[in-house]
């Protein structure tokens, strides 16, 4: 598949119409106060592209791999060029997945399966390229530009984000998804909303390994346009399957649906770590 040409007309805040998400698009962007926000949603990779990615990564990519999708926030310099940029893409996210096999989780019935197998087929001992097949990543975006984040005690101002300011641009972009061979799910997607004075981006990794563990890793990027202030918050949430199951309300038959929804699951998982960084552009 060839890459479609870049969009010729870009929506601007002047026309104030919200840019709505669509299933597939070749790329769209908005520029507000010299911050340019771009998203692109294309079909999953074809066989050739998967081979190329497999070679680059050294591991098999997830079943649904949106390798051409991106979400980026770019600060345009005074000369009109790119001064600083943070981009979210599947390749860089997957490059941070453990490829040594040291962090490998096993499916719940693995022990029983191995025992049975050892009786039957002792010859087959080789594991195909051990790696973290849950595709767990601590990806916080790919940065270009010389300015660097420093840790801060500042917090993302939730009060400002709770206000129903008009949304000029919104998108929800999938980077990858895998059903873990029907043992759960692993999903990385990025949402972004741009308001007149600020923006919020949330890159959420959600992983459920049935009867073993739930895991959420959130990266939020907040930009206050007037100050050129960029805050990036990274959170890890995790708990065992048993613990989470105890917290579910009893006698609800929509629990399978809850377990498929990272947004609902975020409420059930305890915070393990959080870090906030700051940068002024």
Binding site for other proteins (CB under 8 A): 1, 18, 20-21, 23-24, 42-47, 49-50, 63-64, 66, 101, 104, 106-107, 109-110, 112-114, 116-117, 120-121, 124-131, 133, 158, 161-162, 164, 167, 170, 172, 174, 179-184, 191, 193, 200, 202, 210, 253-254, 256-257, 259-260, 263
Sign of dihedral through CA atoms 168, 64, 209, 100? negative
Shortest Å distance, C-beta 70 to other proteins: 15
- Closest to other proteins by CB, 113 vs 248, is 113
Residue with Cβ nearer other proteins (64 or 281): 64
Among the listed residues 51, 280, 45, 76, the one whose alpha carbon sits nearest the alpha carbon of residue 177: 45
- As measured in angstroms, the least distance from the Cβ of 185 to other proteins is 8
Q: Which residues touch 15 (CB under 8 Å, ≥6 apart)?
A: none
Quick one: 75 or 191, whose CB is closer to other proteins? Answer: 191
In the complex, minimum distance from the CB of residue 80 to other proteins, in angstroms, rounded to a whole number: 30
Closer of 35 and 66 to other proteins (Cβ): 66
d(CA 108, CA 165): 46
E strand map for 147-244 = 150-151, 169-178, 184-194, 198-209, 213-224, 229-240
The alpha carbons of the chain give a radius of gyration, in whole angstroms, of 21
CA–CA gap between residue 97 and residue 102 (Å, rounded): 11
As a whole number of angstroms, the distance between CA 107 and CA 120 comes to: 20
Shorter beta-carbon distance to other proteins: residue 72 or 183: 183
Least distance in Å: CB of 98 to other proteins? Answer: 11
């Amino acid at each position: 598949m060839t890459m479609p040409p870049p969009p010729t007309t870009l929506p601007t805040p002047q026309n104030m119409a919200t840019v709505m998400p669509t299933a597939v698009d070749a790329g769209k962007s908005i520029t507000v106060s010299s911050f340019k926000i771009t998203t692109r949603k294309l079909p999953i990779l074809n066989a050739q592209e998967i081979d190329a990615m497999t070679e680059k990564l050294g591991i098999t990519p997830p079943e649904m791999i949106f390798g051409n999708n991106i979400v980026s926030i770019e600060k345009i310099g005074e000369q009109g060029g790119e001064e600083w940029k943070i981009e979210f893409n599947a390749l860089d996210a997957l490059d941070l997945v453990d490829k040594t096999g040291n962090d490998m989780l096993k499916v719940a019935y693995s022990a029983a399966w191995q025992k049975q197998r050892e009786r039957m087929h002792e010859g087959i001992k080789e594991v195909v390229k051990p790696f973290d097949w849950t595709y767990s990543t601590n990806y916080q975006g790919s940065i270009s530009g010389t300015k660097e984040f420093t840790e801060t005690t500042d917090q993302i101002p939730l009060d400002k984000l709770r206000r129903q300011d008009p949304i000029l641009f919104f998108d929800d972009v999938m980077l990858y998804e895998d059903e873990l061979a029907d043992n759960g799910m692993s999903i990385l997607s990025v949402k972004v909303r741009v308001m007149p004075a600020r923006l919020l981006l949330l890159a959420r990794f959600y992983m459920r390994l049935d009867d073993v563990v739930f895991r959420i890793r959130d990266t939020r990027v907040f930009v206050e346009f007037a100050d050129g202030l960029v805050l990036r918050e990274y959170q890890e949430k995790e708990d065992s399957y048993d613990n989470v199951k105890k917290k579910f309300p009893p006698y609800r038959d929509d629990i399978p649906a809850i377990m498929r929804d990272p947004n609902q699951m975020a409420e059930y998982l305890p915070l393990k770590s959080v870090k906030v960084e700051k940068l002024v552009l």
